[in-house]
Structure formats: structure tokens, C-alpha cells
Amino acid sequence: AQSVTQPDIHITVSEGASLELRCNYSYGATPYLFWYVQSPGQGLQLLLKYFSGDTLVQGIKGFEAEFKRSQSSFNLRKPSVHWSDAAEYFCAVGENTGNQFYFGTGTSLTVIP
Amino acid sequence: ETGVTQSPTHLIKTRGQQVTLRCSSQSGHNTVSWYQQALGQGPQFIFQYYREEENGRGNFPPRFSGLQFPNYSSELNVNALELDDSALYLCASSLVGNNYGYTFGSGTRLTVV
């Protein structure tokens, strides 16, 4: 069965520091992988997605993620975090039918000055 | 272009009651999905509608039902509310075939007391 694990419930980083959020997935076929961000009281905003091809994908707001098939991972990175990046981050797997996401439980990011 | 609009923003209901949540899809989109996000959890897929028919369903009981209208707006109905139904309900719309090009609404926060 498809599933997504985000092992870090909460992460705190200093503004300007680098960031890596971990995501591991379980999926039988080639996965469609996503990272979403959710600010308080807001819906989900897509940061980036991976379907195929280059395993390093660039997204919005300076985020990138790397797909590693051997490790079943799709970790999100940002070289320098801004205070406005504080939010909840969700990793998701999409079925290749195109109609259902499986989300992880999320990682809450706090940015300290 | 307008995004996805959900109403109401917040709602309090009593256990055993029925509730209807509404969603207006983004202009040009013809598919709508509903997700339940319990506190501290990732969103879970309830169902998807396309051409006014259910097009996939997650692990939710039949008391969760939906409608999609000719203008692609949608409703989520929940009967016999239980305390565990308290959650943020997210609507997401897309254009079928647009490989996971979903736009999420800000959600309806339902509290069952």
C-alpha cells in the first residue's frame, strides 16, 4: 500500500541556516512525488513535484528536492531559510491514476531570528 | 483567475447532526476532490468527482457523500456526525488530464461537539 513517512514532526532552524526536511515513501510503481506547504488558516500550496527525469527538482521560493529511488526518499532542501518559511510542510505521493494523493503527517517548521 | 473557494470557513455542529460543506472550483477546472485533515495529521482523501460522478473514494464510510454540479462546484455532505469528524476539510480542483495540477482551497474547519 502507498504511504508516506515524514520522520520529523517539528524542526527549528535559525534564519539564514540551511534546511532539509525528510520524506520516505512506499509505492509499488514509479511514484509521483510532491511537496506542499500549509500556512496557518491556509490551504496547501505546491512547492514542487517530481514525475520523471532529472532527480533534482527545483520549486518555488528557492526550494529543491532530490528523488532517490534506492532510498525511497524525496527530501526537501533550502540553502537559506527565511522567517516567512515558517509553516507546515507535507510530502505526498500521487497515484498514477491522477486522482489521489497520499500525504505524510507533516513537519512543522519554526524559524528563529 | 479565481482560485478555489470554500464555505463556510468555520462551523460548529452537534454529534448526530448533518452538515453540508461547499466548494467552488477554480475557473476552467472540471474535477474536484475532498480531503479530511484531522489535527496534527496530513490530509486524507475522501473522494473525487468528475462529470458529476464519483471517480474514486478513500476509506470513508457512506455517511460521507458528495455532489458535483454542472458548473463544477461541489458539496460534501456528512450525516450522523461523530466527534472524530472534527477536522479541516479541504477541497481541491483540477482539469482532468492535467497531471495533478490541483488547486486547494483554504478549507472549512468543522468542530463536532
Give per-residue pLDDT as tens, B7-36.
999 999 999 999 999 999 998 888 999 999
SS (H, E, C) B13-60: ECCCCCEEEEEECCCCCCEEEEEEECCCCCCEEEEEEECCEEEEECCC
pLDDT beyond 60 at B1: no
**Strand B108-112 to strand B10-13: parallel, antiparallel, or no bridges (unpaired)?**
parallel
Sorted by sequence, the CB contacts under 8 Å of residue B111 that are 6+ apart come out as B10, B11, B12, B13, B86
Closest CA to B105 of B22, B13, B46: B22
Inter-chain CB proximity B106 and A102 less than 8 Å: no
Inter-chain CB proximity A105 and B42 less than 8 Å: yes
Tell me which amino acid residue B22 is.
R
- Which residue in A44, A49, A106 is closest to B100 by CB distance? A49
A24 interfacial to chain B (CB closer than 8 Å) = no
Rounded to the nearest angstrom, the minimum Cα separation between B58 and chain A is 8
Q: Tens digit of pLDDT for each residue in A7-62?
A: 999 999 999 999 999 999 998 777 899 999 999 888 899 999 999 888 999 999 99
Give the per-residue pLDDT at B64: 98
Tell me which amino acid residue B73 is.
S
Give the per-residue pLDDT at A77: 98
* A110 vs B57: CA distance, rounded Å: 34
